Chain A
């Protein structure tokens, strides 16, 4: 075996290995312009070429091998160089992976930053929308408040109307009571009249008896009987007329008064449309229709657009007819049944 020192690594490293290392170096280094270096404040730099790098590797391997005791076979040397080369490539790959990871993290951070910016914009927009809604809510509250006030006013009006209605009801009840009293009065007056008539009848009967006896007595006195009868009859008529008339007048006055009060109360208690005399309507329409020469129109030359309705009336008509027949049938049945 030849001693190590007599073998240079150059002969142990194959040309393809050399080319591969050069590629790795090319791949994992960056080209920088001299101007950039100057701008970065670098005035001096260390420059190393691919050849030098390879030489350094070779030197490192030589030194490593030289430190080891004993002579090594060519195969062992080549194996060591190869292993060193592979180790170097592993280190370079690890460095490349690390750089790729760093780049990935940088991109991730950039993405997160963009997302944060987007979220900030969304938050600003949401704040603006919230502000708008708050304003609308404020307006709606004001509207509701105004309506609450209106409702309160209407409720107060309703309460006043209810009180007025209670007053009217009370008035009606009083009038009804008055009517009742009047009926009682009428009954008592009727009884009085009847009693009066009875008394009058009795008085008349007794006076007639007196008259008969006076007539008999007057038979003996010619000429005086006629005058006495006339005087008696006149007295009776006057008295009857006076008492009846008085009673009737009292009754009528009381009844009229009460009826007027009841009418006024009912009139004010019920809402009725105003009845306006229609005296001019027929005359006005007669004028319109009879004086055709005063009017001119083109209506006879123009048609009115017609449309059909989808909803019909046949169902309604059928049912109405059926109801009408049912009602008539019930009426016939009632007529046919014997009266209780």
Chain B
């Protein structure tokens, strides 16, 4: 079985990156306001919401909740005490009962129903009328009470998509309003830019950060912290699942499981289903790179990069085996306007964006 390189360098240096590590053991317990430093990060993703705070000892604590909810049948509504004992978070609103987050996913399987998603393709879904109250509770659960007056929260926003009309104003406005109502001072930060903050410190924040999410890919080309080019494409892990399912005659859930199963390596597909996954991954990566090259050539006032730049990929969709190798292969096929030093995956791909948001918040406090 070929190894999955975390980093690919083009100049034959002998560096070895550490493996991407999942989140550590649950820390548990409520974080007191005195234990943490002021400033929080919030990653508002299509599939997951994450918040991050920095403790006095410098450790970064992250909370994660699935960005979904489920309306519970009326027969269960009487057993609210049972829900609390089981640790299932619920909200009763307008005579309806909603379960939030991870628990909604589990219960949906049990009841054979579908969860509802406040966000689609990276933005708030205007079709979900109940989305905003639910989002408020999920966000409140994650950020908690503010620790100081006017505490800043930097939350991630996607860049406008090049292939779809997005309502960035509505989306950003709602999140800002939510956080303001909770007593915070909200600041938006581009999702790709957050990746640059979290992963490109060694390169003086010069390079390309790509957040590979479920709903979209966000790209940011930065020069010494300044974002030069930012955009997003409305294709992500969900797009791959949808098309693999269509081509192979599978359900989306099965296609998603296939993509995330152990041992899958894009560089060495073992069967026809994996070959289909590889095809769509390659298509998506090539799509992103071509649009990046195109946007770079059209953009004005772009700084000239005198040295080769590094590309860092993050996000759940980048965690599949062989992703970096395939990315490097597709990069060679595109006439890229920049010289690329190498490509690597973030050390902790699931938390890159929220750490970048936290960095921005912490910098403001210093």
Which chain A residues have a beta carbon within 8 Å of chain B's beta carbons? Answer: 136, 139-140, 143, 147, 271-276, 278, 281-282, 284-285, 288-289, 294-299, 301-321, 323-324
Residues of chain B with a CB closer than 8 A to A295's CB: 91-93, 133
A307-B26 CB under 8 A given contacts A298-B89, A312-B60:
yes
| Interchain CB contact under 8 A, A281 and B170 | yes
A288-B92 CB under 8 A given contacts A276-B169, A311-B355, A320-B359:
no
Which chain B residues have a beta carbon within 8 Å of chain A's beta carbons? Answer: 21, 23-31, 52, 54, 58-65, 80, 83-84, 87, 89-94, 100, 132-133, 136-137, 140-142, 160, 162, 165-170, 173-174, 177-178, 181, 197-198, 201-202, 204-205, 224-225, 247, 272, 275-276, 279, 283, 346-348, 351-352, 355, 358-359, 362-363, 366
What's the nearest-Cβ distance from chain B to residue A177, in Å?
A: 22
| Interchain CB contact under 8 A, A323 and B132 | no
18 residue pairs from A and B, CB less than 8 Å apart: A140-B275, A285-B178, A295-B93, A296-B92, A298-B84, A299-B89, A299-B100, A303-B28, A303-B29, A308-B60, A308-B62, A309-B355, A311-B21, A313-B362, A316-B201, A317-B366, A319-B204, A321-B366
What's the nearest-Cβ distance from chain A to residue B29, in Å?
A: 7
| Interchain CB contact under 8 A, B132 and A316 | no
Residues of chain B with a CB closer than 8 A to A296's CB: 91-92
| Interchain CB contact under 8 A, A306 and B28 | yes
What is the chain A residue whose CB lies nearest that of B161?
A273
What is the chain B residue whose CB lies nearest that of A144?
B279
Pick the residue among A289, A301, A321 that contacts B181 (CB under 8 A). A289
What's the nearest-Cβ distance from chain A to residue B14, in Å?
A: 22
Residues of chain A with a CB closer than 8 A to B162's CB: 271
| Interchain CB contact under 8 A, A306 and B61 | yes
Report how far A309 CA is from B279 CA in the complex, Å: 33
| Interchain CB contact under 8 A, B84 and A301 | yes
Report how far A285 CA is from B279 CA in the complex, Å: 44
| Interchain CB contact under 8 A, A274 and B62 | no
Report how far A296 CA is from B91 CA in the complex, Å: 6
| Interchain CB contact under 8 A, B225 and A320 | yes
| Interchain CB contact under 8 A, B83 and A317 | no
| Interchain CB contact under 8 A, B225 and A323 | yes
Report how far A176 CA is from B197 CA in the complex, Å: 41
Report how far A310 CA is from B348 CA in the complex, Å: 8
Residues of chain B with a CB closer than 8 A to A284's CB: 132
| Interchain CB contact under 8 A, B169 and A278 | yes
| Interchain CB contact under 8 A, A143 and B276 | yes
Pick the residue among B21, B60, B93, B181 that contacts A313 (CB under 8 A). B60
| Interchain CB contact under 8 A, A309 and B90 | no
Residues of chain A with a CB closer than 8 A to B89's CB: 297-299, 302
Report how far A85 CA is from B33 CA in the complex, Å: 115
Top 6 nearest A-B pairs by Cβ distance? Answer: A307-B23, A296-B92, A316-B201, A311-B348, A297-B91, A308-B24
Residues of chain A with a CB closer than 8 A to B25's CB: 307-308
| Interchain CB contact under 8 A, A273 and B178 | no
Given A147-B283, A317-B363, 15 other A-B residues pairs in contact with their CB atoms under 8 A: A136-B272, A273-B160, A273-B165, A273-B166, A273-B167, A288-B133, A302-B87, A304-B63, A311-B347, A313-B358, A315-B201, A317-B366, A320-B225, A320-B359, A320-B363
What's the nearest-Cβ distance from chain A to residue B113, in Å?
A: 21
Residues of chain B with a CB closer than 8 A to A305's CB: 26, 28, 63-64
Report how far A276 CA is from B283 CA in the complex, Å: 32
What is the chain A residue whose CB lies nearest that of B172?
A278
| Interchain CB contact under 8 A, A313 and B359 | yes
Report how far A136 CA is from B269 CA in the complex, Å: 13
What is the chain A residue whose CB lies nearest that of B283?
A147
Residues of chain A with a CB closer than 8 A to B276's CB: 143
What is the chain A residue whose CB lies nearest that of B247?
A143
Residues of chain B with a CB closer than 8 A to A304's CB: 63, 65, 141-142
| Interchain CB contact under 8 A, B351 and A311 | yes
What's the nearest-Cβ distance from chain B to residue A64, in Å?
A: 82
Report how far A147 CA is from B26 CA in the complex, Å: 45
A317-B359 CB under 8 A given contacts A139-B272, A271-B162:
yes
